[in-house]
């Protein structure tokens, strides 16, 4: 059992971990990759940089700094999060347990420009299987996505729905060990159509798939996907936090790009520090 699990190894997550490690609490960081910084050619406007530095290099220095303080940093993709007196963080490989969790997962990916997706949100289009599977008992649904996160959502749906189809929108299915009763359609999607509620997925080859619901799980679980799973409030693609980085779920904190506002390293580091300190207090209050 960890005191705190941080999801994300960008500036926000690393900054939080520095405080947690120095407070002598057991801290695990789970990060899929180097996040937004890896895309930044050079960073020039962050404190203490004598010369412009490649974003990737700055990210790597941060991770080494955390490791040197005793923080465990692993490279895995988080696909789910659950709570039952403590938090359970599920990755593609296994499950980890902690007293508190900090979401530092950066900004959400772009929603694919598929006609009907926005229009039918809440009317058949869902972003959270564990939240909404119940509404599709005995019904036919599709999961839009082609990776491990999509498979995680499919596994949540299988016991509840009558049929689930993985729709990859023209991409190859990347899941090797999938259950035999999951059909995969690798065609490109033209639109999600219906009347008051979703009725069909229309493909670019003029074929159709009849569905009662479409669950969106493209790429990796984003910050708001993970927050929604555990009942924390989100606003658009941002996680709602108070001035001390508390989400609406006790023991769950968020910091950095995933809370919106200024999308810069300085703000991610400041919010990470606050989230780290608040998580320390929360864990101590439970002892
Ligand atoms: C091209 C570009 C240039 C930029 N230039 C500047 C600049 O000059 N100055 C500046 O201050 N800022 C700049 N930024 C912004 C800066 O990079 C971000 O504000 C900062 O990295 C945000 O930190 P973060 O920790 O919140 O998120 P990120 O750095 O994005 O880190 C998110 C972390 O979460 C992980 N993650 C996400 N989902 C999952 C999951 N499901 N499972 C496991 N891990 C997950 C990611 O792998 C990553 O480790 C730039 C950004 C870009 C894209």
Across the range 39-58, mean pLDDT stands at 91
The torsion of the CA quartet 10, 12, 15, 17, rounded to 10 degrees, works out to -80
- Is CATH 3.50.50.60 the right assignment for the domain spanning 2-109+221-285? yes
pLDDT in tens, 245-275: 999 999 999 999 999 988 899 999 999 999 9
Name the CATH topology of 125-216.
FAD/NAD(P)-binding domain (3.50.50)
Query: Domain extents for the chain?
Result: 2-109+221-285, 125-216
pLDDT in tens, 152-174: 899 999 999 999 999 999 999 98
Ligand 1 neighbourhood includes 269 CB (under 6 angstroms) = no
Report the nearest atom of ligand 1 relative to the CA of 226.
Answer: 41
Interacting residues of 174 by C-beta distance below 8 A, sequence separation 6+? 146, 147, 148
Encoded tokens for 81: 């999060």
* Gap between the Cα atoms of 128 and 41, Å rounded: 34
Ligand 1 neighbourhood includes 252 CB (under 6 angstroms) = no
Ligand 1 neighbourhood includes 35 CB (under 6 angstroms) = yes
Ligand 1 neighbourhood includes 75 CB (under 6 angstroms) = no
Alpha helical stretches, state H, 74-161: 129-132, 148-157
Report the nearest atom of ligand 1 relative to the CA of 91.
Answer: 42
This prediction's pTM: 0.84
pLDDT of residue 200 exceeding 70, the answer is yes
Across the range 27-56, mean pLDDT stands at 92
pLDDT given at position 108: 66
Q: Do domains 2-109+221-285 and 125-216 have the same CATH topology?
A: yes
Report the nearest atom of ligand 1 relative to the CA of 271.
Answer: 26
């Amino acid at each position: 059992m960890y005191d705190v699990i941080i999801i994300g190894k960008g500036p926000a997550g690393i900054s939080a971990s520095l405080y947690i490690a120095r407070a002598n609490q057991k801290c695990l960081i789970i990060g899929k990759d180097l996040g937004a910084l890896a895309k930044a050619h050079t960073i020039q406007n962050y404190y203490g940089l004598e010369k412009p530095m490649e974003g990737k290099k700055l990210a790597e220095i941060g991770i080494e700094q955390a490791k040197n303080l005793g923080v465990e940093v692993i490279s895995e993709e988080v696909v789910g999060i659950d709570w039952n007196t403590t938090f359970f963080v599920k990755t593609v490989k296994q499950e980890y347990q902690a007293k508190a969790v900090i979401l530092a997962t950066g900004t959400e990916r772009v929603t694919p420009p598929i006609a009907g997706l926005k229009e039918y949100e809440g009317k058949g289009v869902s972003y959270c299987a564990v939240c909404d599977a119940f509404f599709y008992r005995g019904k036919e649904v599709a999961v839009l996505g082609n990776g491990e996160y999509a498979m995680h959502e499919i596994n949540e749906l299988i016991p509840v729905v009558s049929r689930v189809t993985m729709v990859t929108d023209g991409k190859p299915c990347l899941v090797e060990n999938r259950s035999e009763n999951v059909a995969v359609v690798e065609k490109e999607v033209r639109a999600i159509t219906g009347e008051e509620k979703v009725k069909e997925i229309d493909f670019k080859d003029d074929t159709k798939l009849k569905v009662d619901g479409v669950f969106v799980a493209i790429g990796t679980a984003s910050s708001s996907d993970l927050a929604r799973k555990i009942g924390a409030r989100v606003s658009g693609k941002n996680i709602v936090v108070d001035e001390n980085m508390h989400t609406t779920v006790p023991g769950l904190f968020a910091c950095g790009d995933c809370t919106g506002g200024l999308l810069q390293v300085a703000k991610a580091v400041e919010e990470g520090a606050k989230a780290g300190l608040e998580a320390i207090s929360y864990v101590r209050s439970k002892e």
